[in-house]
Amino acid sequence: MSKRPLLSGLLVALLAAASPAAAYGASYEEVLKFLAATGAVADSDAPAADEPITRGDALKIMLDMREETRAQVERRRGRLSRLALFLDVPPDDPIAPYAETAFALRITSGFSDRTLRPSDAIPAEEAIALLMRAHRQDGEPSDGDGEWYAQFVRAALRRNLIGDPRSMRVGQAITRGQFFDMAYRVGVMIRDNLDAFPGPVANAGPLRNERGPGAGAAAGASRHVAARPAENGSVVVASPANDQSTINGFRSSRDFAITIPSLGILDLPIAHPDDTQSKEGLLAPLRDGVGHLFSYPGRGGKIMIYGHSSGYAWDVSRYTKIFRQVNKLKEGDRVYVTFGGNLFEYEVTGQQTISPADAGPFSGEGEELILYTCWPPNSIKKRLIVRAAPVETVAVR
């Protein structure tokens, strides 16, 4: 990528274009008014709808919505044991009575390491499941379910509690607007003794969990088939590779790295920019490797990995031309990404040149790894993208 001012407008515009738009059953103000009337939020509370909501805040809202659970929280307040139930929620933490109430009601059991992580953003599927449990809404299990949350997401879809399923991705943080809207919908449904929230039902179909072709097969032992984005609203999500020889050969000791064996790119560092709103911020990761935007491996969205194809003559950085050869990638070539201690395997499905302002490839259903660079080399007229789909997949609709 050239170091001329090409990213300042381009990637910032892509960020805005790819951000999911909220679709509410009522206006945000009406939703807030409803939740304030239940006691779940303060009358003056008007947080930005597009901000992620934390696990602790989500638990507080869902428990404060119902008089019965709110009373249970109050009974525990001031009577908490000195021995913390969750290691990261001390007894004097304001969230502690909510955490213990949620545990007692089997809304959540926390993580296996005895933490709750209340300050972390809560992923969409977990928020849906906890909200359903908090309001005593049964899930709808199926013999084909492979994930614990599947039955709750299926039930929420059938009861029209998710206004815009296409704006959510498994594993990605849910926004306050999305969570508040679901809480509003389930509150109205219970208040009016309805089987489902009234209004148009989103075109999302039933939720499904299924292994893609080749899942679990040993690398090299048989031909893997990369999963293409499924039809009818399915979301294709990568799962970590499980073949030990593949893991040993390509997993990095770094937190986030990419390996492209056919191009001789090995253990290339990936970094998410600290500042995504300026040219300087977006270019900063390219001094030490390549940059990242949008989703992450295993979370069901579009993953952009961007890097230079060229630079100024005096720039001798080892990463200045790191993506100069990506056009040589062919369908079927493998790309390996280490993230969160796991190795994710992708298969190249094709490439194309696009205009600098084209955000189309970064929207739509399904997980996809997209390598992105200026094209042709020594030019900023076009962008080359190389697309790759997960080899090991779980499809959730």
363, amino acid identity: S
Residue at 203 is within a domain:
no
Residue at 175 is within a domain: yes
Q: 169 and 58 share a domain?
A: yes
Are 194 and 330 contained in the same domain?
no
Cα separation of 219 and 27, whole Å?
50
Predicted pLDDT of residue 35: 92
Distance between CA atoms of residues 70 and 369, nearest Å: 44
- The reply to whether 252 falls in a domain is yes
Which residue, 4, 9, 18, is CA-closest to 309? 4
Q: What's the CA gap between 21 and 212, in Å, rounded?
A: 29
Judgement on whether residues 247 and 324 belong to the same structural domain of the protein: yes
**Residue 379 burial by Cβ neighbours in a 10 Å radius (0-12, 13-18, 19+):** exposed
Full domain range(s) for residue 49: 26-198
Same-domain status, 355 and 243: yes
Give yes or no: residues 136 and 57 share one domain.
Answer: yes
44 inside domain: yes
pLDDT lower than 50: segments of the chain: 1-25, 203-234, 314, 394-397
What tens digit of pLDDT does each residue of 168-197 get?
777 888 888 899 999 999 999 999 999 888
Please check whether residue 116 lies inside any domain of the structure.
yes
Query: Do residues 175 and 154 lie in contact, with contact meaning Cβ atoms separated by under 8 Å?
Result: no
Residue 354 included in any domain: yes
The answer to whether 311 and 3 have CB atoms below 8 angstroms apart is yes
Query: What's the pLDDT at 200?
Result: 60
Same domain? For 143 and 291 the reply is no
Handedness of CA 172, 177, 179, 182 (dihedral sign): negative
Q: What's the pTM? A: 0.49
**188 and 216: one domain?**
no
Regarding whether 335 and 191 lie in a shared domain, the answer is no
Give the phi and the psi of residue 87 in degrees, each rounded to 5: -60, -25
No. of helices (H) and no. of strands (E), the chain: 10, 11
Q: State how many domains the chain has.
A: 2
Cis peptide before 376 (omega within 30 of 0): yes
- pLDDT reported for residue 78: 77
Least Cα distance to 309 among 5, 1, 33 occurs for 1
| Domain edge (last residue) among 198, 231, 256 | 198
pLDDT value of residue 289:
94
Domain finish residue from 149, 178, 198: 198
Q: Return the pLDDT at 201.
A: 53
Are 111 and 225 found together in one domain?
Answer: no
51 CB contacts (<8 Å, ≥6 apart)?
A: 175, 176
Residue 98 and residue 71 share a domain: yes
**Would you state the pLDDT for residue 240?**
84
- Are 140 and 223 found together in one domain? no
